[in-house]
A = this chain, B = another copy of it.
Amino acid sequence: MPHPSSPGEPALVALDWGTSSLRAWALDGGGAVLSATTSRDGLRAVGERAAADGTDPGHAFTQTLAALCDRLGAAGVPALACGMVGADGGWTTAGRLDLPVPAEARAFQPTAVPGASPVVSIVPGLKTAPDMTGACDVIRGEETQVLGALARLGNPSEASLILPGTHTKWLRVAGGEIVDFTTAMTGELHAALLEATILGDPVRRGGAEGAASAQGDADAFDSGVMHSLSHPGHPFAARLFSARTRYLSGELAAAGVSSYLSGLLIGDETAAMLPAALASGAPLALCADGPLGGLYQRALSAQGTQVQLLQYTALDGLRAVARAWGLLPIAVTTPANPFS
């Protein structure tokens, strides 16, 4: 077997291991991707398998990873993971760093899973300072996207990052440190409104008024954004109700209700968060892999703000941590910055 620090030979398996999905890449010693895979083997599936087999979860994680490494052609190499796999109830609790934290991969020492062979390490999460009530906000997984995004942006000492998702994070880097973040549960609220309120009735009934179209979705989304932007003084629960009255008046088709609600929610969120994010004068960037990135760009654009969209930053973050902690042995020559 060739030495793993040879280019083209697997040296590390990088894992973005969340609750419902698992993305994995086999990297050579320089960080180049040799193979990649995505599966539904998130924490939930692994936990269910352990319960069904009557084995302990640690065994199920080990087996899942071994099978995955086989598929990637990277059996027997170390692994570095980020995401809920490092939460309480994951494989091993990887802890959380208290803010402020230097905005560099070297500050994120991975936690080794006890007894795992080959070595499996997990990137720690982040925790804000307690607010006046003693409550802290926490991040698990997004910290790695942040490290990837910062690497992609050339490691600026000031930046504002938006990480859309079920729980969207707005994170601020200042003076070379990650200083704060805020969570908006926009994605989860959207799902709950569709599932459990009268607003979702037309959607749950199957949208007899016509199938969704890309243009119809975009128009409904824009209407929702504009409604939020033009009713800043209205209670949130009143702005929401416009999804009902517009549906009843025929102005909003059943097929557009979900997009309209997305627009309302993302409109409210971005309008509230944008002033502080822009006030710092720092570059603002979006980290999103799926269609949410485009929706946030659209909502921000309606407010006169163009932002850079960075996709697949988790892999870059895992690479950065792996390099900082000696898990990718081949030195990478960074091209000189032509502007410096």
Residues of A at the B interface (CB closer than 8 Å) are 130-131, 133-138, 167-168, 182-186, 188-189, 191-193, 195-199, 223, 233-238, 240-242, 244-246, 248-251, 265, 268-269, 271-273, 275-276
Please measure, in the bound complex, the distance between the C-alpha atom of A250 and the C-alpha atom of B269, giving whole angstroms: 27
Q: Are A197 and B186 in contact (CB under 8 A)?
A: no
> A200 to nearest B CB, angstroms?
9
Q: Are B192 and A234 in contact (CB under 8 A)?
A: no
Q: Are A249 and B135 in contact (CB under 8 A)?
A: yes
Which chain B residue shows the least CB distance to A182? Answer: B238
| List of B residues within 8 angstroms of A137 by Cβ | 241, 245
| List of B residues within 8 angstroms of A195 by Cβ | 192, 196
> A260 to nearest B CB, angstroms?
11
Say what secondary structure dominates the interface of chain A.
helix
Q: Are B192 and A235 in contact (CB under 8 A)?
A: no
A189 touches which one: B130, B237, B265 (CB < 8 A)? B237
Q: Are B136 and A245 in contact (CB under 8 A)?
A: yes
Q: Are B241 and A185 in contact (CB under 8 A)?
A: yes
Q: What are 15 of the A-B contact pairs (CB < 8 Å)?
A: A133-B251, A134-B251, A137-B245, A168-B237, A184-B235, A185-B199, A186-B237, A188-B198, A189-B237, A233-B276, A236-B236, A236-B268, A237-B268, A237-B269, A238-B269
| List of B residues within 8 angstroms of A223 by Cβ | 133
Q: Are A241 and B192 in contact (CB under 8 A)?
A: no
Answer whether A197 and B185 are a contact pair too, CB < 8 Å, given A236-B268, A246-B133, A272-B235: yes
Please measure, in the bound complex, the distance between the C-alpha atom of A167 and the C-alpha atom of B241, giving whole angstroms: 9
Which chain B residue shows the least CB distance to A189? Answer: B237
Q: Which 5 A-B pairs have the closest CB atoms?
A: A192-B196, A236-B236, A235-B269, A135-B245, A184-B237
Give 12 A-B pairs besides A236-B236, A236-B268 with Cβ atoms closer than 8 angstroms.
Answer: A134-B249, A135-B248, A137-B245, A138-B245, A183-B245, A184-B241, A185-B197, A185-B199, A185-B240, A185-B241, A188-B198, A191-B196
